[in-house]
A and B are shown apart, each in its own frame.
Chain A
Amino acid sequence: MSTDITPSSAFWQGVRNGGPFILIVAPFGLVFGVVAGEAGLDVWQTMAFSVAVIAGAAQLTALQLMTDQAPTIIVIITALAVNTRMAMYSASLTPHLGGASVWQRAAVAYLMVDQAYAVSILRYEQGPPLSPRAKLAFYFGVVFLICPTWYLGTLMGALVGSQIPDWVPIGAAVPIAFIALIGPMLRTLAHVAAAFVSVVVALGLAFLPYSLGLLVAALAAMVTGALVEVWTEKNRPVGGAS
């Protein structure tokens, strides 16, 4: 019976499952706050950025490009390209949460960070079934600690950023935070191939202005991933558990 788990207990289960991720989100928010301060954003702008967008990767991309003096339209397009995965999350969550009211779905959309999606979809597909209301409650439980931690991390970074001594390699924290998310995603040959093409093309086209090389690299990598996936499926031995 899917009604065995009440929305209230589903909410707290979400809080527990999402909780550990504040260990990633807090330092990531801190890094964004510090980098934003160094780029010249004041505390209000930095906080507005984090509260309005809640997407660290896209926010850091935008900052990087603004610092590189890229045209505003390129900044916006590239940062949104980083966020296109959100449309996939949205599509993937629709069968589970599509029945909620429009305001509830708007709240789900606003709070849709990588960890919220990953933790929720894992729970929806495994474990005792949840009612639609319990699924919604679980989702809000997952983001209950994660999203406020993002705001607070950003605020801390924006406030203490200027006091961090120069020898602390804060710049290296950005690639570490991003690459930490990528390692666990490299679970198939197609993912590895996509990541490899992304790196090679981005480096090869690094001379292009305004990070246009990144757009080309991302498209080439997505097509590579899809093609390798098709190829792997076609070559899978029949009945074999490769």
Chain B
Amino acid sequence: MTLDQTTIWIVIVALAIGTFTLRFSFLGLVGRRPLPPWALRLLRYTPVAVIPGLMAPQIFLPLEGQSGPDPVRLAAVVVTLAVGVWTKNAIWAMLGGAATLAILTLTLGA
């Protein structure tokens, strides 16, 4: 599949400008004025609100040409989450998930 070249560059430039603006926002422009508590309360949940929803279809819905969720991927993600919650360490979580993925892929055959 090929993506339109102009579209790719538009997305790159727009994300570069938009992301920098978000990062610079308060630091650069608002200065030391604090955010209202309700805004901080909502923003606090941004990562856990966006990333699980972003990944859920890739984890729970069937991949192309399959009838159900991919069991190997599901198992690897469950281990990743469990290790992350248990150790509170993203590196161990990633290693646990990668190890599960590798072992299951090799034992169940390509």
Contact partner, A199, options B43, B56, B86, Cβ 8 Å:
B56
Q: Are B49 and A198 in contact (CB under 8 A)?
A: yes
Distance from A231 Cβ to chain B, minimum over Cβ atoms (Å): 12
Task: Give min CB distance, B78 to chain A, whole Å.
Answer: 9
A93-B44 in contact (CB<8A) = no
Q: State the total of A-B contacts with C-beta under 8 angstroms.
A: 295
Decide: B48 and A225 in contact? CB cutoff 8 A: yes
Q: Are the CB atoms of A222 and B46 closer together than 8 Å? A: yes
Q: Which residues of B contact A (CB under 8 A)?
A: 1-3, 7-16, 18-20, 22-28, 30-32, 34-35, 38, 40-61, 63, 70, 72-73, 76-77, 80-91, 93-94, 97-98, 101, 105, 110
Main secondary structure of the interface of A (DSSP, over half): helix
Instruction: With both chains docked as a complex, state the minimum distance between the C-beta of A119 and any C-beta of chain B, in angstroms.
Output: 12
Residues of A within 8 A of B41 (CB): 225-226, 229-230
Q: Which residues of B contact A52 (CB under 8 A)?
A: 12-13, 15-16
Residues in chain B near residue A229, CB distance under 8 A: 41, 44
Q: In the complex, A89 Cα to B83 Cα: how many Å?
A: 26
Contacts A172-B72, A214-B54, A226-B42; is A45 near B85 (CB within 8 Å)? no
In the complex with contacts A102-B28, A184-B88, A187-B88, A112-B23 CB distance below 8 A: yes
Does A172 contact B42, Cβ atoms closer than 8 Å? no
Considering the complex of A and B, which 6 residue pairs feature the smallest CB-CB distances, nearest first? A183-B84, A225-B45, A202-B53, A221-B49, A167-B110, A52-B16
**Residue from B7, B34, B46, B61 having most chain A Cβ neighbours under 10 A:** B46
- Cβ contacts A to B, 13 pairs, < 8 Å: A24-B90, A79-B11, A89-B23, A94-B31, A102-B28, A109-B27, A178-B54, A183-B83, A183-B93, A184-B85, A195-B48, A224-B49, A229-B44
Cβ of A105 and Cβ of B28 under 8 Å apart?
Answer: yes
Contact B54 A82 (CB under 8 A): yes
Q: Are A45 and B27 in contact (CB under 8 A)?
A: no
> Taking chain B's interface residues, is the majority helix, strand, or loop, or is none over half, making it mixed?
helix
Interface size class of A (residues with CB under 8 A): 35 or more
In the docked arrangement, what's the CA distance between A109 and B49, Å? 23
Provide the bound-state CA to CA distance between A76 and B7, in Å: 11
Which of B18, B83, B90 is most buried by chain A, counting CB atoms within 10 A of its CB?
A: B90
Contact among B26, B32, B58 for A87, CB-based, below 8 A:
B26
Q: Are B101 and A40 in contact (CB under 8 A)?
A: no
B19 → chain A, closest Cβ, in Å? Answer: 5
Report the minimum CB–CB distance from B66 to chain A (whole Å). 12
In the assembly, what is the distance between CA of A79 and CA of B1, in Å?
A: 21
Whether A86 pairs with B42 at a CB distance below 8 angstroms is: no
- Complex: chain B residue closest to A181, CB-CB: B90
Q: Are B72 and A206 in contact (CB under 8 A)?
A: no
Given A53-B15, A202-B56, A226-B41, does the pair A179, B46 have CB atoms closer than 8 Å? no
Q: Are A49 and B22 within 8 A (Cβ)?
A: no
Complex interface: chain B residues within 8 A of A24 (CB):
90-91, 94
> How far is it, in angstroms, between the C-alpha of A229 and the C-alpha of B18 when the chains are bound?
30
Q: How far is the CA of A174 from the CA of B42 in the complex (A)?
A: 26
Complex Cα–Cα for A190 and B89 (A): 20
Q: Which of A158-184 contact B (CB under 8 A)?
A: 167-169, 171-184
